[in-house]
Amino acid sequence: IEFVKSDLRFAIDEAFRTNGITIAFPQMDVWIKEAPKS
């Protein structure tokens, strides 16, 4: 299923670029699994 999700994302990205669609503010999620010990 991961390959399907990846292929879908690439297809959407290509369709957006082909049609001049841009996302103004791309989102980046940062996940911290464990806080560093100090």
Question: Do residues 22 and 16 lie in contact, with contact meaning Cβ atoms separated by under 8 Å?
Answer: yes
- Spatial separation of the C-alpha atoms in residues 38 and 27, rounded to whole Å: 29
Q: Of 38, 35, 3, whose CA–CA distance to 11 is shortest?
A: 3
pLDDT score of 11: 96
Residues 19, 28, 7, 4: is their CA dihedral positive or negative?
negative
Residue 10 phi/psi, 5-degree rounding, is -65, -40
pLDDT score of 4: 85
pLDDT score of 16: 96
Query: Could you tell me the two tokens for 9?
Result: 């994302």
Q: Over its length of 38 residues, how does the chain's per-residue pLDDT go in tens digits?
A: 788 889 999 999 999 999 999 988 878 888 888 877 77
